[in-house]
Amino acid sequence: MATKKTTETKAAAPKAAAKTPKAPKAAKAAQGPRHPKARVAASGTKADLAKALAGSIARSNQDAADVETQLKTASNQQLLRLQRVVETVKKKWGNREKLIAAIGSAQNKSKDKDFLAKLDSYSLPQLVDLATSGERRARA
């Protein structure tokens, strides 16, 4: 049994009388460089960035000049990551000591001197990870 193909003629839909005009496209925001070397160069030289980070990264028993020489040999990506960590610490806690105190109080060990001394031996990114993971657990 053969089937017939039916063709339906569709009536043309009446065009809308009032079309809304399209809004002009917004101008794209100026984007900075994407790769680490250019991002470091945009904010100055690698030595300038290392010098700016050295004071914040240095632990209480380290000299900032020694830390600066170590940071000069670090990769650009690592320097940018450390810069983000330092900015986070300054914005949320103020400095390294206040961050350590905040971690101690969050874990109810603010009077435990050995625990606070151990926290002082951690790097700044490790301390930020501890603090932010404690905040996530407190919210859950």
Taking only the tens of pLDDT, the chain with its 140 residues reads 666 666 655 555 556 566 777 777 777 777 777 888 888 888 888 999 999 999 888 887 888 899 999 999 999 999 999 999 999 999 999 999 999 999 999 999 989 999 999 999 999 999 999 999 876 666 65
Residue 111: inside a domain, yes or no?
yes
- Let me know if residue 134 belongs to a domain: yes
> Is residue 75 one of the residues assigned to a domain?
yes
Give the predicted TM-score (pTM) of the model.
Answer: 0.69
* Domain assignment of residue 84, yes or no: yes
The answer to whether residue 21 sits within a structural domain is no
Query: What six digits make up the tokens of 88?
Result: 């986070």
Q: In the numeric block, which tokens belong to residue 34?
A: 């994407």
> How many domains is the chain built from?
1
Host domain of residue 55: 36-139
Amino acid symbol at 111? K
